[in-house]
Structure 1
Amino acid sequence: MNHRVQPIIAVLIALGAFGFLYVLVTNPGEMAKMAVTVIVAGIIIYFIVKYVMNRNAGSEGAAFKKAAKQSRRRMKEQKAKHRAGHKGRVSHLRSVPSASKPKPMILKKKSQTQLTVIEGKKNKKKNRALF
């Protein structure tokens, strides 16, 4: 696509670049000071936003962490049980298949995954446009 930059925006970018180069050439110490100030302000804003977002998550975030922890623990237990069942077997020895009748394949049922319900705002109405 052919996007054209509006002339006002192009002039503002050019003036900004010119000002940046001018300050860099005439007073590099001030430029470094401004850069440090901008970086520190950005870090402060980042932590403020992160704090506010975590505070808003509140109990829902805690419920999610609890459910994730339970799920990890359950998966570890299942893996340990699975490994214990295969411990006595020798994997490198195989029986020679018979040429007469092929055995019908038995399909194993997969264990049903256990889902944890996280309590949340269930009475919250959806914001829909009225027609």
Structure 2
Amino acid sequence: MQQNSRRLHPIIWFVISLAVVGILYQLTTSPRDFFTTILIGAAVVAVFYFIFRRTSSGVNGKYRKAVKQSQKRYGSNQKPPKASPLFPNKKTAKSSAQKKRTREHHLTVIEGKKNKKKNRASF
């Protein structure tokens, strides 16, 4: 029995319709209380949003720190690759090979679960 993903269960429609009726009733009978309730609810949601956003920024914070270190080390502007000539000189080919060896990589290690693999093999 497959249902279309866009169709909602009749009980869901009933709950939504009751919510709309309740909101309209409160808006017509006491609009001041309605807006007070809406503002308090928005404030509570904002507090939870900022609390969870601040606590979950640990992983993103480490990534941002690594990006900043990389930009300091290599500069923020990435240069486009130069077009190589059809017949390069041997001297330039050797010097570029030496530059490749001595060039530092631009990867930064971010702390993670490094000891998980070690414990897996020991029985």
TM range (shorter): 0.5 to 0.7
Q: Go from structure 1 to structure 2 and tell me whether the alpha carbon gap of 1:78 and 1:23 turns closer, same or farther (over 3 Å shift).
A: closer
- Percent identical among aligned pairs is 35
RMSD, matched Cα? 3.5
Task: Map 1:43-122 to 2 at 5 A.
Answer: 43-54=46-57, 57=58, 61-62=61-62, 64-76=63-75, 104-106=86-88, 113-122=105-114
Deviates most, 32-41 or 107-116:
107-116
Note closer, same or farther for the CA distance 1:105–1:26 as it changes in structure 2 (3 Å cut): farther
What is the deviation of 1:9?
1.1
Equivalent in the alignment of 1:97? none
Q: How many residues align?
A: 99
Shift of 1:115: 1.8
With over 3 angstroms needed to count, the CA separation of the structure-2 counterparts of 1:24 and 1:114, relative to structure 1, is: same
Amino acid at match of 1:38: G
Secondary structure at 1:19 match in 2: helix
The CA distance in 1 between the partners of 2:87 and 2:29, in whole Å, is 82
Closer, same or farther: CA 123–26 of 1 in aligned 2, 3 Å: same
Match of 2:20 in 1: 17
Q: Comparing both chains, which one has the higher relative contact order based on Cα–Cα distances under 8 Å and sequence gaps of 6 or more?
A: 1
Larger radius of gyration: 1
Q: Deviations over 1:71-130 (max 9, x none)?
A: 111222987xx8xxxxxxxxxxxxxxxxxxxx73439769565322223221135xxxxx
TM-score, normalisation: structure 2: 0.60
Q: Whose helix proportion is higher, 1 or 2? A: 2
Task: Give the ranges of 4+ consecutive aligned residues of structure 1 lying more than 6 Å apart after TM superposition.
Answer: none
Tell which deviates more after alignment, 20-29 or 43-52.
43-52
TM-score normalised by structure 1 residue count: 0.57
